[in-house]
């Protein structure tokens, strides 16, 4: 266990203070040095003086846990480690590191965030690396998530409490417990009191998740009503940063129920929005999804192919993106070109271009909605079409069945119906 002197020395060096800086007029630098090296115990008065000079509480120096400064440093380290795409190596490293910190966590914000990161990392490990997750000693992410929620509640941080409630609701939705998910979402939304930016933003997250669940249950009327409610709520609170996400959900929803006229109205609104918004990440998200709409729903592969090629050119010239993001966005464009070539009956061009868009090294717990996943997984059906065109029925059937397997939990989507139709056509031909 770190003794008081070691903590004092560590904090002093972190703050780039000299012995004299800490001693001031109350103590001698030599006395501070003796305390730091465990050769003398500070009086209560001197301990209070040292804590004041270091900008911490006396309890931070006396307690067996980490000081607030140390906790903040640990939090920064973890956030930097998990920044971007969290693969199995990063997750395992974070889990191992946090497990050692658990006995030393307190009741402050940094501790709450570390508990939250631990819970999310454990659940991500469970989702994507189940065999490795099963080897962990500590697998109860729910306990740590609940502890994070409790601390946020004690700290009166409503937006962070809501984030944890969103997390619990998402987990239930992942396991297909849709009624439980709706209960958690409704309870969370009914108890909101704050009107700050972060709280409103999480409310939108909760409503969008609820929209996904209603869609998964085939409640299209409820989905439409909720979409209108989300738009009104967002407009009321001037949440312009969520405009694209919300209106894109609207376009996708109406395309999915074959109401193309309303879907196109949402697409028009998105394009008008981007006339006044300059954000590279949002622009790329917008372009790739509109390319998808042109190819899949509008059945216009020629236009979609031109859009994908133009997208690739602009992507390479974007200096604001690092290489990792360029690869991720580039894979989406290449996969989209493959789908277009499939529709244009050019399987020999299409097959080499298909990408695995849900890679093991770029999965996030909250990155994809059910519809997002369906959009990505449907490329297995396109590959099945290519193999059918090339006279390889066994390979075609293999990919068609894989698409059905991956999309079975999204039975009310156009993607699942497309996958079923592809499989039926292949089986008839066979």
101 lies in some domain: yes
Q: Which residues contact 333 (CB under 8 A, 6 or more apart)?
A: 288, 291, 308, 311, 312, 315
pLDDT in tens, 350-359: 999 998 776 5
Same domain for 293 and 310, yes or no, is yes
Gyration radius of the chain's alpha carbons: 27
Residue 47's domain is classified under what CATH number?
Answer: 1.10.260.40
**Domain end residue (candidates: 246, 273, 300):** 273
Average confidence (pLDDT) over 39-68: 82
Number of domains in the chain: 5
pLDDT in tens, 122-163: 999 998 888 999 999 999 999 999 999 999 999 999 999 999
Same domain for 268 and 235, yes or no, is yes
222 lies in some domain: yes
Same domain for 131 and 187, yes or no, is no
Q: How far is CA 132 from CA 125, 275, 413, in A?
A: 8, 47, 32
Q: Token digits for 36?
A: 């730091």
363 — pLDDT class (breaks 50, 70, 90)? very low
Q: How far is CA 422 from CA 66, 292, 335, 388, 418, in A?
A: 59, 18, 18, 10, 6
Q: Which range (259-263, 294-298, 402-406) has the least confidence?
A: 402-406
Q: Token digits for 394?
A: 């066994």
CA distance 112 to 36: 30
Same domain for 326 and 374, yes or no, is no
Same domain for 126 and 202, yes or no, is no
302 lies in some domain: yes
Closest among 329, 429, 315, 418 to 375, alpha carbons compared: 418
CA distance 107 to 121: 20
Angle ∠(367,315,347) on CA atoms, nearest 5:
80
CA distance 227 to 352: 39
Same domain for 374 and 334, yes or no, is no
Same domain for 191 and 260, yes or no, is yes
233 lies in some domain: yes
Same domain for 254 and 200, yes or no, is yes
DSSP 291-354: HHIIIIIS--HHHHHHHHHHHHHHHHT-TTS-HHHHHHHHHHHHHHHHHHHHHTT-HHHHGGG-
- Residue % of the chain over a pLDDT of 90: 66
Q: Token digits for 185?
A: 């979402």
144 lies in some domain: yes
**3 state DSSP class of 372:** helix
Q: What pLDDT was estimated at residue 402?
A: 94
Q: Token digits for 285?
A: 């998200």
Q: How far is CA 188 from CA 13, 53, 117, 247, in A?
A: 44, 43, 21, 24
Whole-prediction pTM: 0.75
370 lies in some domain: yes
Residue 382's domain is classified under what CATH number?
Answer: 1.20.58
Same domain for 411 and 336, yes or no, is no
Whole domain around residue 231: which residue ranges?
A: 183-273
Number of Cβ within 10 Å of residue 313's Cβ equals 9
Same domain for 40 and 60, yes or no, is yes
Same domain for 49 and 79, yes or no, is no
168 lies in some domain: no
Same domain for 46 and 84, yes or no, is no
- CB–CB of 285/244 below 8 Å? yes
pLDDT in tens, 86-110: 688 889 999 999 999 988 888 899 9
Top-confidence residue, 5 or 168: 168
- CB–CB of 184/169 below 8 Å? yes
**Domain end residue (candidates: 355, 379, 398):** 355
117 lies in some domain: yes
pLDDT above 70: residue 59: no
**Domain end residue (candidates: 273, 292, 327):** 273
Average confidence (pLDDT) over 282-297: 94
């Amino acid at each position: 266990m770190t003794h008081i002197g070691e903590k004092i020395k560590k904090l002093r060096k972190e703050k780039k203070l000299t012995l004299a800086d800490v001693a001031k007029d109350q103590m001698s630098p030599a006395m501070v040095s003796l305390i730091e090296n465990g050769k003398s115990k500070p009086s209560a008065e001197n301990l209070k003086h040292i804590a004041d000079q270091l900008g911490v509480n006396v309890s931070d120096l006396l307690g067996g846990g980490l000081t607030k400064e140390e906790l903040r440093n640990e939090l920064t380290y973890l956030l930097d480690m998990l920044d971007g795409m969290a693969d199995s190596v990063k997750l395992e490293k974070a889990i191992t590191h946090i497990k050692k910190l658990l006995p030393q966590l307190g009741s402050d914000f940094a501790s709450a965030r570390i508990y939250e990161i631990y819970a999310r990392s454990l659940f991500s490990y469970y989702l994507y690396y189940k065999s490795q997750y099963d080897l962990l000693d500590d697998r109860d992410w729910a306990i740590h998530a609940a502890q994070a929620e409790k601390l946020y509640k004690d700290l009166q941080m409503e937006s962070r409490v809501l984030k944890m409630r969103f997390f619990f609701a998402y987990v239930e939705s992942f396991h297909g417990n849709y009624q439980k998910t709706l209960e958690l979402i409704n309870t969370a939304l009914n108890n909101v009191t704050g009107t700050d930016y972060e709280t409103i933003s999480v409310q939108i997250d909760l409503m969008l998740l609820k929209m996904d669940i209603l869609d998964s249950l085939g409640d299209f009327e409820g989905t439409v009503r909720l979409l209108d409610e989300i738009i009104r709520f967002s407009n009321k609170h001037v949440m312009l940063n969520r405009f694209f996400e919300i209106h894109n959900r609207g376009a996708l929803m109406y395309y999915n129920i074959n109401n193309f006229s309303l879907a196109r109205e949402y697409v028009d609104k998105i394009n008008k929005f981007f006339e006044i918004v300059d954000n590279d990440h949002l622009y790329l998200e917008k372009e790739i999804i509109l390319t998808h709409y042109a190819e899949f729903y509008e059945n216009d592969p020629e236009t979609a192919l031109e859009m994908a090629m133009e997208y690739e050119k602009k992507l390479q010239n974007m200096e604001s993106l690092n290489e990792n993001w360029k690869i991720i966005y580039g894979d989406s464009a290449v996969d989209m070109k493959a789908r277009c070539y499939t529709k244009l009956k050019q399987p020999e061009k299409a097959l080499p271009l298909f990408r695995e868009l849900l890679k093991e090294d770029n999965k996030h717990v909250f990155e994809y909605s059910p519809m997002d996943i369906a959009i990505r997984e449907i490329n297995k059906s396109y590959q099945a079409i290519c193999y059918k065109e090339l006279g390889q029925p066994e390979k075609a059937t293999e990919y068609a069945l894989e698409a059905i397997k991956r999309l079975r939990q999204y039975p009310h989507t156009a993607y699942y119906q497309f996958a079923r139709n592809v499989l039926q056509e292949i089986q008839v031909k066979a």
